[in-house]
Amino acid sequence: LWGPNSEAGEGECTASRQSGHVGNDIGQNQKEQDTSADNSTESLSLVTAANREFAFRLYRSLAANPDSQGKNIFFSPVSVSVALAALAVGARGETHRQLFRGLAFNSTWLSQTDVDQAFQSLFEKTKKASNEVTSEGTAVFMDNLFKPQPEFLDTLKKSYFADGFNVDFTKSSESANTINKYVEEKTSGKIDKLVESLDPTTVMYLISYIYFKGKWETPFDPDLTKEDLFMVDEKTKVPVQMMNIEKRFETYRDQMFNTSVLHLPFNSSHSMLLLLPDDMAKLENAISAAHVTKWLKWMKYSVYIPKFSIKTSYSLKTVLTEMGMVDMFGDRADLSGIAEGQQLAVSEVVHQATLDVDEAGATAAAATGITITLHSYYYVPVLKFNRPFMVIITDHSSDNILFMGKITNPNL
């Protein structure tokens, strides 16, 4: 495990400057600090906007995947963004350009250093704003004989708050257990088997995790929860435990998408948006971060929401390849920033997520693993989520979309 940062000696300066230069130096330093602060704020805004854009790109790719048809979709876009941004620290050339484009980062305005600093700010903001509600971070597991670039590890530790561990990947079962136990602990047992198996040529495994547990600002009364039917499609109905509450909730009817939007605030800086469209495909094809921002600004019903618990698991290799991140998976991968003199490639990107919704609140968790190997509105009286709907969990303090998905069948 890496120890704390050692920065002794940094920032030291000689005292031999003449007094006449001190004022100029202070003024110049202040200007440089102000410019740096402005640049950091701009970079943070650009990265946050890119993260939201990536969330919807990835959602549409998952929804269009044949394997997702008729199934629930649920994932953490911020977990995937963090994992791929951390991987980009060690990518070079076309591999790096593809990662940046895929993550919606504009390379004209953002450098890798800008991205690293922005994620560092986001991690720090999350820790300060909601350390009791949300836990997120990264970790890198390295083979005992693998020698990564010190700069790569330093950046992961400083900007992505990464834990570092040495393991023996030749003992694949033991290594997988070590990684799974770490993720299980960090997600309070929600993600207990991120790694099914490990490629024998694995030299590094990079993960990103997030855990969220929020209590409703206004809890549902368990005595009002009754069995009801959920219409999966025109031919299929399944029994669910339907929660009910009667109060003036914030709601919005978007005429453009023929979608009812329910805003359920947690007793923190987080919110859940539930979207009930008349036509799911129409909503999925057009929804964007701008719509979510608009819905959060507008926002009363007797509300019925199913009580449910779902778990999803994805291999993202095909999806990310279709999104333009191709080279990192093959012999054209340039990950020389991770280690020199070795032909590294990504063999797999996996993601798991869980969501539990009950009368008290919601709990969500997700983890992303990257295996690196050699080689206008109106009101309605009742809003009943008894057919497929979308769900988005946002964090107002960071403007991040932490989780999103589609509930097709609450019983799956």
Q: How many helices (H) and strands (E) does the chain have?
A: 9, 15
Encoding tokens for residue 76? 């953490």
Rounded CA gap, 134 and 396, in Å?
13
pLDDT of residue 19 exceeding 50, the answer is no
Note the pLDDT of residue 16. Answer: 37
Encoding tokens for residue 244? 């009910």
pLDDT of residue 329 exceeding 60, the answer is yes
* Cβ neighbour number for residue 406 with a 10 Å cutoff: 20
Q: Which CATH superfamily does the domain covering 38-214+310-356 fall into?
A: Antithrombin, subunit I, domain 2 (3.30.497.10)
Rounded CA gap, 135 and 287, in Å?
28
Segments making up each domain of the chain, as ranges: 38-214+310-356, 222-307+368-407
Location of structure tokens 């083979």: 143
pLDDT in tens, 341-394: 889 999 999 999 999 999 999 999 999 999 998 863 344 457 889 999 999 999
| Cα–Cα separations (whole angstroms), residue 333 to 57, 241, 329, 347 | 23, 49, 6, 11
Note the pLDDT of residue 27. Answer: 53
More confident residue, 174 or 29: 174
Per 3-state DSSP, what percentage of the chain is helix, strand, and coil (rounded to 5)?
35, 30, 35
Confidence band, pLDDT 50/70/90 cuts, at residue 129: low
Note the pLDDT of residue 374. Answer: 82
- The mean of the pLDDT values for the chain is 86
Stretch 24-40: mean pLDDT: 56
Confidence band, pLDDT 50/70/90 cuts, at residue 157: very high
Work out the end-to-end distance of the chain between its first and last CA atoms, rounded to an integer number of angstroms.
Answer: 39
Stretch 282-303: mean pLDDT: 78
Helix (H) or strand (E) holding 20: helix 19-64
Confidence band, pLDDT 50/70/90 cuts, at residue 293: confident
Confidence band, pLDDT 50/70/90 cuts, at residue 82: very high
Phi, psi at residue 283, to the nearest 5°? -65, -45
Rounded CA gap, 78 and 54, in Å?
9
Least confident of 101-115, 154-168, 257-271: 257-271
How much of the chain exceeds pLDDT 90, in percent?
63
Contact 312, 151 (CB under 8 A): no
Encoding tokens for residue 222? 């368990």
| Cα–Cα separations (whole angstroms), residue 347 to 6, 80, 138, 257, 364 | 34, 16, 19, 39, 27
Confidence band, pLDDT 50/70/90 cuts, at residue 35: low
Confidence band, pLDDT 50/70/90 cuts, at residue 143: very high
pLDDT of residue 6 exceeding 80, the answer is no
More confident residue, 380 or 212: 212
Rounded CA gap, 394 and 297, in Å?
13
Q: Which residues pair with 363 in a beta bridge?
A: 213, 356
Encoding tokens for residue 395? 């964090």
| Cα–Cα separations (whole angstroms), residue 95 to 91, 141, 325, 332 | 6, 22, 8, 8
Q: Which CATH superfamily does the domain covering 222-307+368-407 fall into?
A: Alpha-1-antitrypsin, domain 1 (2.30.39.10)
Encoding tokens for residue 325? 């991140």
Angle at CA of residue 141, ends 136 and 142, nearest 5°: 150
- List the one residue out of 104, 71, 66, 73 whose CA is nearest residue 288: 104
Note the pLDDT of residue 202. Answer: 94
Least confident of 157-166, 279-288, 297-306, 333-342: 297-306
Rounded CA gap, 391 and 362, in Å?
12
CA dihedral 24, 29, 31, 36 (to 10 degrees): 170
As a residue count, the chain comes to 412
Q: Which of 114-118, 131-135, 253-257: highest mean pLDDT?
A: 114-118
Amino acid at 362: A
